[in-house]
């Protein structure tokens, strides 16, 4: 946890970064913070109107012109990921990082009542889609001199919790996949793959998981950005295959 990390203003200068789920919640804040630190951010998400708002906010703040990439992990195909890689290659020629942040909660319910279609959908959006997108983008990541791929985990991706179903399983899979790929690419020395658990954060997803909780008791997405910046930027170079937390555990 690097909650006290102070990112230099030019931390991400000239970096080309992809943020998934960039239209809302933690992804939106990360995209804006990355752009504020000099990155050209590719805003990926399923609701174009939300991405356009983030785009406008970055432009208004004088950040590097971002790009918008509408994509819904639910229906996306391998071809979509390869078309995306081709478009990014043409436009930028490399990729310096991915924040895999898009995610769905599914339902909090006893497993015996878990709907199989919903289970598959959560696995598709939270892990299978991001995995095949990563495969398509690997050639672009290996063209970077220092690329960081961050997979978003959760505390239920490190210890199972009753009723959390596909969400918890998808986050365990995220941890496992990140370890496998991290070991495969370790010899490159220019690419690192880690997981990051944001911890309880005031967003729409947290609200739907804990409807009775007072949102004001939670850290905001802004509060947890130091670790998001540290792990994306050069100060974490050399760290590969690790599981990080963006905030200390709540007492």
- 227 near ligand NDP, rule: CB under 6 A: no
Kindly list the distances between the CA atom of residue 178 and the CA atoms of 108, 174, 182, in Å, as whole numbers in the listed order: 25, 6, 6
- 45 near ligand NDP, rule: CB under 6 A: yes
The 13-42 contact track toward ligand NDP, x by CB under 6 A, reads --------x-xxxxx---------------
Q: In the bound complex, what is the minimum distance in angstroms from residue 232's beta carbon to ligand NDP?
A: 15
- 72 near ligand NDP, rule: CB under 6 A: yes
Kindly list the distances between the CA atom of residue 36 and the CA atoms of 62, 88, 156, 192, 241, in Å, as whole numbers in the listed order: 8, 21, 31, 23, 27
* Nearer to ligand NDP among residue 37 and residue 167 (C-beta): 167
Active-site residue, selected from the candidate residues 34, 55, 81, 167: 167
- Exposed, middle or buried, 163 (CB in 10 Å: 0-12/13-18/19+)? middle
- 154 near ligand NDP, rule: CB under 6 A: yes
What whole-number distance in Å separates Cα of residue 162 and Cα of residue 221? 26
- 174 near ligand NDP, rule: CB under 6 A: no
- Exposed, middle or buried, 191 (CB in 10 Å: 0-12/13-18/19+)? buried
Asked whether the beta carbons of 179 and 128 are under 8 A apart, the reply is no
Tell me whether residue 81 is one of the annotated catalytic residues. Answer: no
Q: Identify which range of 34-42, 177-185, 187-195, 200-208 contacts ligand NDP by CB under 6 A.
A: 200-208
DSSP 204-249: HHHHHH-TTS-GGGSB-TTTTHHHHHHHHSGGGTT--S-EEESSPP
What whole-number distance in Å separates Cα of residue 157 and Cα of residue 176? 10
Q: In the bound complex, what is the minimum distance in angstroms from residue 230's beta carbon to ligand NDP?
A: 17
* Nearer to ligand NDP among residue 6 and residue 217 (C-beta): 217
Crossing angle of helices 116-123 and 165-185, in 10° steps, is 30
* Nearer to ligand NDP among residue 23 and residue 63 (C-beta): 23
- 130 near ligand NDP, rule: CB under 6 A: no
The residue number whose beta carbon is nearest to ligand NDP equals: 25
The 85-104 contact track toward ligand NDP, x by CB under 6 A, reads ----------------xxxx
Which residues belong to the active site?
A: 167
Residues that bind ligand NDP (CB under 6 A): 21, 23-27, 45-47, 50, 72-74, 101-104, 125, 152, 154, 198, 200-201, 203-206
């Amino acid at each position: 946890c690097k909650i006290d990390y102070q990112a230099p203003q030019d931390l991400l200068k000239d970096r080309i970064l992809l943020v998934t789920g960039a239209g809302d919640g933690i992804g939106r804040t990360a995209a804006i913070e990355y752009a504020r630190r000099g990155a050209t951010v590719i805003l990926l998400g399923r609701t174009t109107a939300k991405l356009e708002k983030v785009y406008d906010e970055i432009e208004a703040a004088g950040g590097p012109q971002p790009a918008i990439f509408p994509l819904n992990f639910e229906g996306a195909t391998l071809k979509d990921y390869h078309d995306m890689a081709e478009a990014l290659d043409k436009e930028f020629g490399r990729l310096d990082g991915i924040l895999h942040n898009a995610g769905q909660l599914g339902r909090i319910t006893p497993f015996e009542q878990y709907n199989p279609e919903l289970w598959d959908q959560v696995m598709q959006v939270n892990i299978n889609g991001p995995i095949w997108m990563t495969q398509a983008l690997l050639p672009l990541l290996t063209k970077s001199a220092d690329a960081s791929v961050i997979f978003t985990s959760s505390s239920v991706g490190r210890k199972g919790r009753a009723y959390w179903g596909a969400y918890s399983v998808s986050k365990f899979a995220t941890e496992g996949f990140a370890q496998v790929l991290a070991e495969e690419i370790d010899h490159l020395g220019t690419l690192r793959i880690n997981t990051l658990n944001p911890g309880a954060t005031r967003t729409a997803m947290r609200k739907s998981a804990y409807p009775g909780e007072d949102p004001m008791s939670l850290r905001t997405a802004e509060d947890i950005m130091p670790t998001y910046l540290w792990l994306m930027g050069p100060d974490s170079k050399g760290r590969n295959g690790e599981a990080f937390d963006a905030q200390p555990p709540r007492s």
